[in-house]
Chain A
Amino acid sequence: MHFGGVKAVDGLSIDLTEGSIFGVLGPNGSGKSTLLAALTRFVDLTAGSLHLDGEEYHRIPAATFARRGVARTFQTVRLLPGLTVEENVRLGADRIRGRGIRERGKGDDDVAEAIGRTGLRGLERHRPGELSYGAQRRVEIARAIVAKPRLLLLDEPTAGMNQSERQEISALLRELREEGLTQVLVEHDVQMMVDTCDHLFAMNFGKLIADGVPASVVREPAVREAYLGKRWSEHV
């Protein structure tokens, strides 16, 4: 993906297998969010292609792609301030095509389940402005998982959360993996990435610099250098 003369992501080729959590690691400006935006069709590819179940989708609109079971959260919290927590989550459930009057009851169950799983019970009638930043993040996650997507892309979902909240979100993501949900996780918390992900991609300056099992990727010299700088990476 190029923005004018800037190559945001270049020469990247990744395969996501079903039912796994893939982590994307890299310093600020390494192209992680652009990669998520491209995967969800929010930016067009300058070159290359995207495939889902063997079918090319790099030309279909983002909304159409989302209706095929792809959900995402954003780097900065994006909730609708005029709606309550429950209504924000329900917006995610609305995406399910063909859900008519007969299935509305099921929609209510899904919303209650997503709210419960993200620890938001009791806050259903609050509006986003009345919540802490961490709680707002959890509303985003609840909104993303409520429609039971096939692919979930999370852009720094634990930003603004404390350690125990991060651990709980990590546990939730692993639980969703056990249920077969494929996930792509962008995070700066290296320990969380190692604990949560099955596979890690490390990026810098828009290029893939390492990929593989999390524990070994974070030990790669190129990854340490990207995060700590060359001088410091030699000392650790």
Chain B
Amino acid sequence: MIAWYDTNIILIQSTFVGLLMALSLQVPIRFGVFSFAGIGCYGIGAYVAAIMTIRYEWPAAAAIGAGMLIAGVVGYLLALTVRRLGGLYLGMATIAFDLIVGVLAVNGGDLTGGPSGLFGALADVTTLHLVLISAVVIGLLAYSERGAIGRRVEAVREDPELAASMGIDVRRHRQAAFVISALLGACAGGLNVLLRTTIAPTDIGFSLVVLALTMIIVGGSRSWAGALIGAMIFTWLPGFLEFSGQWQKVIYGVIVALAAIWVPGGLLGMMTDAYRSWQRSRRDAGSGDGDRTPLGSRAEGTPA
């Protein structure tokens, strides 16, 4: 077991970083906000943590916290800036934000290390820290998927006008989605740079948007569990596909395309659907003479 851990430590750590990064895109999608700004905030978190560690020798928690704070403020300001945008236009605007962060990193001079980036961000971040942070994040997100908060988020995503008629402040929920996404992205970026000790503009490019989206599409976009499934698959899959050599990217593309076409809810959505239909069949089999009112029975007899 220890030998397996030592051999695969990079992949294990990458799985948790990938999970946090995927969640930074999944959270806004759950709120019905088509934003990729979490990846730009990943870059902000990574660079701020690296700068604070290398230049000012801040401890890891403070360096990552500073990155999250700055990214959170940037996320909030971005939410205000793009408040009137939705759908594809919002997606494009937030991708532009990600690209701007990359451009700033390239042209940041000594502060960001320019095109070659920063080296030597040494800190005492371990796998245990990653596991604990991921567990806290998962706990909070799992809580937000249940009860009154879960229902409100569902309403804001599915039908903003209906949500407003229920007294839900849709604008504030959208802003919250941006800020949470920024915090998660920055946390992932900060952790990753302190684990790897280096950061360069090429590490925060458009390919991260594709990777995080791929994790969500294949894993499932409606719950943290989908992001976890996606992060596990796409962190470990390259190792299993090594035999395919140059065909690896083609196989990747085929998997994503198949998932998008045949399993639009992701693997998690497929499992949820299967569970619900099993529940329905059990309920139908057991519903002989329940305490239904006459209206209820009639409704049951004429399914839509």
Interfacial chain A residues near B169, Cβ < 8 Å: 61, 63-64
* Chain B interface main SS type: helix
A–B pairs, 22, beta carbons within 8 Å: A61-B169, A63-B169, A63-B170, A74-B165, A78-B161, A80-B154, A83-B154, A91-B155, A94-B148, A116-B293, A119-B299, A120-B295, A121-B292, A121-B296, A122-B293, A123-B292, A123-B299, A129-B304, A131-B303, A135-B295, A138-B299, A168-B295
> Knowing A66-B166, A66-B167, A80-B159 touch, does A121 contact B291 (C-beta < 8 A)?
yes
| Complex Cα spacing A83 to B145, Å | 12
CB-based contact A121/B293 at 8 Å: yes
CB-based contact B161/A165 at 8 Å: no
> Knowing A119-B293, A121-B292, A132-B304 touch, does A42 contact B165 (C-beta < 8 A)?
yes
User: A127: nearest residue on chain B (CB-CB)?
Assistant: B276
- Which A residues from 81 to 138 make CB contacts under 8 A with B? 81-83, 87, 90-92, 94-95, 97, 116, 118-123, 125, 127, 129-136, 138
Instruction: Tell which of A63, A81, A127 touches B167, judged by Cβ atoms closer than 8 Å.
Output: A63
CB-based contact A95/B304 at 8 Å: no
B153 to chain A, nearest CB (A): 11
Instruction: Tell which of A61, A87, A129, A131 touches B151, judged by Cβ atoms closer than 8 Å.
Output: A87
Interfacial chain B residues near A97, Cβ < 8 Å: 167
User: A68: nearest residue on chain B (CB-CB)?
Assistant: B167
Interfacial chain A residues near B151, Cβ < 8 Å: 80, 83, 87, 90-91, 94
Instruction: Tell which of A72, A131, A132, A165 touches B165, judged by Cβ atoms closer than 8 Å.
Output: A72
Complex interface bits, B272-304 against A, C-beta within 8 A gives 1, otherwise 0 = 000010011001000100111111111111111
Interface size on A, residues (CB 8 A): 44
User: A139: nearest residue on chain B (CB-CB)?
Assistant: B299
CB-based contact A122/B292 at 8 Å: yes
| Complex Cα spacing A92 to B205, Å | 43
> Knowing A87-B151, A129-B304 touch, does A138 contact B295 (C-beta < 8 A)?
yes
User: A160: nearest residue on chain B (CB-CB)?
Assistant: B304
CB-based contact A95/B166 at 8 Å: yes
Tell me if A40 is interfacial: C-beta within 8 Å of chain B.
Answer: yes
> Knowing A63-B170, A80-B158 touch, does A133 contact B304 (C-beta < 8 A)?
yes
> Knowing A67-B167, A83-B154, A165-B295 touch, does A78 contact B290 (C-beta < 8 A)?
no
B277 to chain A, nearest CB (A): 11
Interfacial chain A residues near B159, Cβ < 8 Å: 78, 80
Interfacial chain A residues near B300, Cβ < 8 Å: 122-123, 135
Interfacial chain B residues near A222, Cβ < 8 Å: none
A73 to chain B, nearest CB (A): 9
Tell me if A62 is interfacial: C-beta within 8 Å of chain B.
Answer: yes
4 more A-B contacts (CB under 8 A) besides A80-B158, A95-B168? A116-B293, A119-B299, A132-B302, A143-B166
| Complex Cα spacing A162 to B296, Å | 14
How many A-B contacts if CB must be within 8 Å?
A: 116
Tell me if B254 is interfacial: C-beta within 8 Å of chain A.
Answer: no
CB-based contact B291/A132 at 8 Å: no
| Complex Cα spacing A66 to B161, Å | 12
Interfacial chain B residues near A168, Cβ < 8 Å: 295
Complex interface bits, B174-198 against A, C-beta within 8 A gives 1, otherwise 0 = 0000000000000000000000000
B122 to chain A, nearest CB (A): 46
CB-based contact B166/A122 at 8 Å: no
Which of A61, A119, A129 lies at the interface centre, i.e. has the most chain B CB atoms within 10 A of its CB? A119
CB-based contact B166/A165 at 8 Å: no
Interfacial chain B residues near A91, Cβ < 8 Å: 151-152, 155, 166
Interfacial chain B residues near A119, Cβ < 8 Å: 293-296, 299
| Complex Cα spacing A40 to B301, Å | 35
> Knowing A42-B161, A63-B167 touch, does A130 contact B295 (C-beta < 8 A)?
no
Interfacial chain A residues near B148, Cβ < 8 Å: 90, 94
Interfacial chain A residues near B154, Cβ < 8 Å: 80, 82-83
CB-based contact A81/B165 at 8 Å: no
CB-based contact B155/A40 at 8 Å: no
Complex interface bits, A136-149 against B, C-beta within 8 A gives 1, otherwise 0 = 10100001000000
| Complex Cα spacing A136 to B302, Å | 12
Interfacial chain A residues near B293, Cβ < 8 Å: 116, 119-122
| Complex Cα spacing A211 to B300, Å | 39
| Complex Cα spacing A136 to B62, Å | 52
